[in-house]
Amino acid sequence: MDQWWDRATAITPAPDQRGTLLLALVAAACILWSPVWRMTRHLVTVVHEGAHGLVALLVGRRLAGIRLHSDSSGLTVSKGRPTGVGMVLTLLAGYVGPAVLGVLLSTGVHSGHAVGTLWLLLVALALLLLQIRNLYGLCVVLVSGVGLFAVTWWLDPTAQTAIAQTIGWFLLLAGPWSLIDLQRSRHAGVAPQSDPDQLARITGVPGLIWWSLMFLSSLGCLAGGARLLLG
């Protein structure tokens, strides 16, 4: 336990600005290169559904389970009032979640606690695992958790910091990119059950307004996270 605590609380400097920009390019490639994005977008789905579940619990709803599917879609089921502020916040959280987590990771890296931030992320995955209700979702979270544990336990602090920074960049960039993908699907009429459309049905506010709010929030997180990482 002493060894674990020393590793988790170690202070590590972030890479210099040139290294930070290089890691940002690596993260961008994981999004813009389609063969890689087909795999890495599953990580975005994990964060998306985890954000739904966390906010559902925070607003007093009862979480009934989370499913992750092979087409990178997901479903979070919570029980409570079908309308109202709690349901609105729960639906809003999904697409904003990756960018918000990206800011949190960026804050950890900026403060020198990148290793501890990775350990907290591992704990979050372990808690999420308790809510998974299908085999594919179980495999995705387990593989993610094993990979993250290997990083936090066997790599040296410098490599851990670089990986934490890359994950932060990836989530910051994936937030708005996922929303662009969503809008394309909505425009093609193949996403009638999307979060913005569900929000439109329960509030009467057009789905495009809700999408715009999510998109601007993600862009704000990208700007704030980038400033922390580049600082």
Of 224, 231, 72, 97, the residue nearest 171 (C-alpha): 97
pTM: 0.96
In a domain, 35, yes or no: yes
For the chain, 231 residues long, give each residue's pLDDT as a single digit of tens: 777 777 778 788 888 899 999 999 999 999 999 999 999 999 999 999 999 999 999 999 999 999 999 999 999 999 999 999 999 999 999 999 999 999 999 999 999 999 999 999 999 999 999 999 999 999 999 999 999 999 988 998 889 999 999 999 999 999 999 999 999 999 998 888 999 999 999 999 999 999 999 999 999 999 999 999 998
Plot region of 60 (φ>0 → left; ψ -120 to 50 → alpha; else → beta): left
Domain count for the chain, please give it. Answer: 1
For residue 47, the enclosing domain spans 21-230
Residue 12 belongs to some domain of the structure: no
Q: Nearest 5 degrees, angle CA 26-CA 13-CA 222?
A: 45
In a domain, 32, yes or no: yes
Q: For residue 16, is it within any domain?
A: no
Q: Is residue 148 part of a domain?
A: yes
* Domain assignment of residue 7, yes or no: no
Please, are residues 51 and 93 in contact by the beta-carbon 8 Å criterion? yes
162 is a domain residue: yes
Beta strands in 37-73 (DSSP E): 62-68
Distance from chain centroid for Cα 48 = 6
On whether residue 1 sits in a domain, the answer given is: no
Which residues, including other chains, have CB under 8 Å from residue 211's CB and lie 6 or more apart?
179, 182, 183, 186, 196
DSSP symbol at 74: E
